[in-house]
Structure 1
Amino acid sequence: MTDVRGIDPELVAAVAGDERPDLADDLDRARVLMSSVGLPVAGAEALYGSRVDVTEHSIDLGDRAIEVRVYTPIGRDAPAPGLLMLHGGAFVGGDRGGEHARSLRYAAEAGCVVVSPEYRLAPEHPYPAAFDDALAALDWMSTGREHIDPGRLAIGGVSAGGALAAGSALRVRDEGTVRLRALLLLFPALDDRVESRSSLEFTDSPVWDAANTREMWSLYLRGASVDSYAAPARATALSGLPPTYVLTAECDPLRDEGVEFARRLIAADVSADLRVWSGAFHVFDQLAPESALAKASVGDQVQFIRRYLH
């Protein structure tokens, strides 16, 4: 039985009876469990649906196309800041609908255009496929598409999407191609070495466990040479990154790598906001959006976005 000791009762109730994905045992089943189908979004639709225009677009790259969902605040005449939001799913699953509720609230309350792409998934498309897709979507935004102000861009990601977001921020910093205003890392997967205390401790935690973390990196990397764009915790220098928000949860195998990344950002003189939500588990604000903790957490994220994009 999943260990729920110390977890907030509202969060326990939200996932009671839910099956935890098992990437090693049944990848197809894990993908079903990580899809956006069945996620609670009615509350966000009711609150923000009338304030946000949601459209679908296709980015033509010649050899392939990237499907993106764009969330535009209704009533804005001037170009708005843009946030590239990369969904989670352990590099092997998930979809752009996974962050639908969060993206609606970001667009409505933070006044930014949110772009959510459908990047390629491992193991069929191992690193750097998803990373290349994230960069292509960011490049598309930087040309001023869909009423986006190319001078006010940010990138964010959830879980595996956090690795893509941090890796992309490192790449554009190194190449000087896009100047980001902010970086948003939510429950980020950053370190393929899986050696932190939390990654060893949480072997039976709700939603996500240490065994899945190890299998996730194996499926994503597929023997590729690991660099800091694939696993951002390996970056030797973090200076020059934009102000960064790092969200972690107490009962999450990925907790300590997020905390360590925030510590290193501060040591590199990068402005960093670190949040460690006690009594919470991986992606709790996606799975239990009506809980008090989730509402407070997403509200805090909105304030960070507003501070650096406006």
Structure 2
Amino acid sequence: MITVEHLTKRYGPHAAVEEVSFRCEPGTVTGFLGPNGAGKSTTLRMICGLTPPTAGRATAAGRAYRELPNPGREIGVLLDASAQHSGRTGREALALAAATMGVDRAGIDAKLDLVGLNATAARRRVGAYSLGMRQRLGLALALLGDPRVLILDEPANGLDPEGIFWMRGLLRDFADRGGTVLLSSHLLREVEAVADRLVVIGAGRVVAQGGKDELLAGAGTLVRARDERALRLGLERAGLPATNGTDGGFVVRAEPETVGQAAADAGLVLTELRPAGAGGLEQLFLTLTAGASTREAVR
């Protein structure tokens, strides 16, 4: 389990993360989403003890990361696939980690096989690895101690479509066996395919969290009209701020009846009016983070 309580990180007057709270339960994959600069990586670094919080607390496996006597046996972490010694071979990187954690080196081959690195790749120096191979090695390192928790920041970067599909299955299997996964990724369709819960952050604050199906069901209303400019003005006059849809029209955080009435009051002819959940996670993400981006720009 991962518990984050009121995490805050300030750099001078600027709050990179502010009052962030959420929980990741065993047996689930939690997608941690937000635009660039929203505070995702800072939050993950605070959970892993790499960045001290200004306020708040985070625990994983019941204790703060720095309080764990052998953290690699409890929590598998992959925050930066490039942060590996380029002069070592893949096998040497795993052997050193195994010695540090007190893990039987006999398990190294099994982890290499699990992440799809064959004997030839294991003998190559990490400096000659592609980004996708480094991601696979990073996952092997994260899994080496047989942890109960995985914390992964953009683990699919550099993977081809087959590799992304493989990773999805790996994470799903880990959670289905009772593990806890916290996954940050900009690949929204892949997160939608594997995540059970979502935490969406914008401008350093949590703007939404909950079950994936629950959040997608409440994504708002998609509306289109012959005169798009007049529609936006009519919605604004009715106090219904709208964001641009991924495939045209506007998305409004209100019920279809409310949006339709606002359009009728403005004398507009609508060409489409329906729940926006059909747009999936991509549409939900844009809708939720648009307001946060606007608030940040005003500061």
Q: Which has the larger radius of gyration?
A: 2
TM-score bracket, normalised by the shorter chain, equals under 0.3
Q: Which has the higher strand share?
A: 2
